[in-house]
Amino acid sequence: MKFSFETYRIECTHPFGISRSSHSFYDIVFIYLEHNGLIGRGEAAPSNRYNESTERILSVLNKGITVPDNMDDIHELFNHFSSQCERIKALEVAFSMATLDLWCQIEGKPLYEYFNADPKSAPQTSFTISIGDMDLLPQKIAEANPYDILKVKLGTSLSNDKSIIEQIRLETDKIIRVDANEGWDLDTGLLMSFWLADNNVEFIEQPFKSTNLSDTAKLKSKSPLPIIADENSVNSFDILKIENVFDGINIKLMKCGTLFEAIKMVKMARERDMQIMLGCMIESSVAITAAAHISPLVDYADLDGNLLISNDPYKGVVVENGRLALPSSNGLGISLVNNDTNLM
């Protein structure tokens, strides 16, 4: 087996703004595992919110990664790599993707079969309208035309957040899901929850800072809309802390660290009757496709990171009539469409 990696800068179609930051590009890392002519691919798209960065990842990779002598057990194979990741979750999940991609190619089956997921049950994905120039809202809404659900980033100010929703409602009556990215206080959350309920909004994601569970519990007890955890649902351990505070969780591979951990989170949330969303960072089709393979197991999908960039070097999952259409070829089922000779 041979290991290699490459950095790649993904360019946002529009600056991607949330309550705490805005970016025009993100530097990510692709990793590759080659074996007998097959290539397993993975992607690390780190987030500063979780104290991870491309620089930290490269510092680990440049030290050298050892490869195992055999591939008899998928979990031993992954553990061999993850033990070298210095607890960087985005890097761990990249190895999780690559090992599963390679393993399933060897076994001759698509990744969704490994997790007993039915591709016919893949959900619709939302399309994100990020915070930015209000004059660009009509253009962003037009770009979202193929998608039936909008995810709208809020968390600026009460008046501005209302203006964003009002302008969107002038253009479309599609279902909206809002994400405040920890940007509200309790008073704003209470006011907005009732106001948003009157504007065909489905749920509210992460209204308050992750340290403010007391106010989140108060909002949950009064809000007419479900409250979904994002920054408060990093991994399965968090579910035990928040099961009575939130109505549901947002699972992101780059947060939780492995596809196996994501599946564990799904099972734990189901046992507690919590709603489950599968989300993403700004990512290429490698990571989005990996997540899409387990999307039939959740209630909602927000897997549009690859749709918000202009230079995706890979092709994998596609969206047909708003719904995720999983590739049926072995492994992740992704292919390189960029002529960049450094990528595989």
Task: Identify the pLDDT of residue 180.
Answer: 97
**pLDDT at 341 (0 to 100):** 72
Q: pLDDT tens-digit profile of 280-293?
A: 999 999 999 999 99
Tell me: pLDDT of 28 over 90.
yes
* Sign of the alpha-carbon dihedral angle for 331, 332, 336, 337: positive
| Residue 196 pLDDT greater than 80, yes or no | yes
For residue 283, the model assigns a pLDDT of: 98
- Residue 92 has what pLDDT? 98
Q: Can you tell me which residue has the tokens 């960072």?
A: 281
- Higher pLDDT among residues 21 and 233, named by residue: 233
Task: Give the mean pLDDT of 56-72.
Answer: 93
pLDDT band at 70 (very low <50, low <70, confident <90, very high): confident
| 277 pLDDT more than 80 | yes
Of all residues in the chain, what percent carry a pLDDT higher than 90?
96
Distance between CA atoms of residues 38 and 17, nearest Å: 38
By DSSP bridging, strand 175-179 and strand 2-18 are unpaired
Spell out the domain ranges in the chain.
Answer: 2-109, 114-336
Average pLDDT score, the chain: 96
- Tokens for 280? 């993403």
Please give the class, per CATH, of domain 2-109. Answer: alpha beta
Q: What's the pLDDT at 338?
A: 81
- Number of neighbours of residue 236 by Cβ within 10 angstroms: 19
- State yes or no: pLDDT of 340 exceeds 80: no
Q: How far apart are CA 267 and CA 177, in angstroms?
A: 24
CA distance 252 to 85: 18
pTM, two decimals, is 0.97
3-state secondary structure labels for all residues of 283-306: CCHHHHHHHHCCHHHCCEECCCHH
Q: How far apart are CA 60 and CA 125, in angstroms?
A: 34
Percent of the chain with pLDDT over 70: 100
With a cut of 90, say whether residue 29 has pLDDT above it. yes
Q: Are 46 and 90 in contact (CB under 8 A)?
A: yes
CATH T-level topology, domain 114-336: TIM Barrel (3.20.20)
Nearest to 290 by CA among 10, 33, 44: 44
Q: Pairing between strand 318-320 and 323-325?
A: antiparallel
